[in-house]
């Protein structure tokens, strides 16, 4: 098995303070784990083991349980996202309209696999579940930008915008 590149954790004291405030706010609330993890991911962008440890200590929940929750839910990620996060919808409506081919085209063009980040940290690629814009199928998003009613030939043009 190939050894996975891990990008070192670069949390700042400000981020840590923000997380501690969140933990303090939720500490006595029943079922706090998931809301706190959502906030932690918003603060850090992802949930590396260092962040999971802080949540575990703050909420007094075993690290194993936190790790179990993080890896169970697809929204939580232990990998950082690229500067441009490309998400291709693989919901049924998009799939029957060819989003499978679209994701293959992006993979070939950028050399990035689904669920990972390019070495320069520029692009990450994700195959998402239905994002609910079925009227625009097939759909992909790059960070906040939504591209809909796609055909294969659109892909190069879209990627060119971000490659510059």
- Taking the complex as a whole, the smallest distance from the CB of residue 121 to other proteins amounts, in Å, to 23
- Taking the complex as a whole, the smallest distance from the CB of residue 34 to other proteins amounts, in Å, to 6
Residues that bind other proteins (CB under 8 A): 30-35, 37-38, 65, 68-69, 72-76, 90-93, 95-97, 101, 104-105, 108, 128-137, 139, 146, 148, 152-153
Compare residues 11 and 98 and give the one whose CB is closer to other proteins. Answer: 98
Q: Which residues does residue 88 pair with via DSSP β-bridges, in sequence order?
A: 127, 140
User: At 163, is the secondary structure helix, strand, or coil?
Assistant: helix
Q: Which residues does residue 141 pair with via DSSP β-bridges, in sequence order?
A: 87, 146
**Residue found by looking up tokens 């070495």 in the block:** 119
Task: Give DSSP secondary structure letters for 2-48.
Answer: PPPP-PPP---HHHHHHHHHHHHHHTTSTT-HHHHHHHHHHHHSS--
- Taking the complex as a whole, the smallest distance from the CB of residue 13 to other proteins amounts, in Å, to 27
How many whole angstroms separate alpha carbon 73 and alpha carbon 37?
11
How many whole angstroms separate alpha carbon 45 and alpha carbon 41?
5
Compare residues 37 and 117 and give the one whose CB is closer to other proteins. Answer: 37
- Taking the complex as a whole, the smallest distance from the CB of residue 119 to other proteins amounts, in Å, to 19
Neighbours of 100 (CB within 10 A): 15
Compare residues 49 and 127 and give the one whose CB is closer to other proteins. Answer: 127
Compare residues 33 and 116 and give the one whose CB is closer to other proteins. Answer: 33
- Taking the complex as a whole, the smallest distance from the CB of residue 115 to other proteins amounts, in Å, to 11
Compare residues 13 and 135 and give the one whose CB is closer to other proteins. Answer: 135
């Amino acid at each position: 098995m190939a050894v996975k590149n891990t990008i070192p954790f670069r949390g700042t004291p400000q981020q840590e303070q923000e997380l501690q405030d969140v933990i303090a706010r939720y500490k006595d609330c029943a079922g706090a784990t998931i809301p706190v993890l959502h906030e932690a991911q918003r603060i850090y962008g992802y949930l590396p083991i260092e962040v999971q440890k802080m949540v575990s200590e703050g909420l007094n929940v075993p690290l194993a349980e936190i790790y179990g929750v993080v890896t169970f839910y697809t929204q939580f990620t232990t990998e950082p996202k690229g500067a441009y996060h490309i998400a291709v919808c693989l919901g049924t409506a998009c799939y029957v309209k060819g989003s499978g081919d679209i994701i293959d085209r992006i993979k070939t063009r950028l050399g990035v696999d689904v669920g990972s980040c390019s070495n320069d940290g520029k692009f990450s690629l994700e195959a998402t579940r239905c994002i609910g814009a079925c009227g625009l199928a097939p759909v992909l998003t790059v960070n906040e930008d939504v591209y809909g009613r796609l055909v294969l030939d659109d892909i190069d043009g879209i990627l060119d915008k971000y490659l510059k």
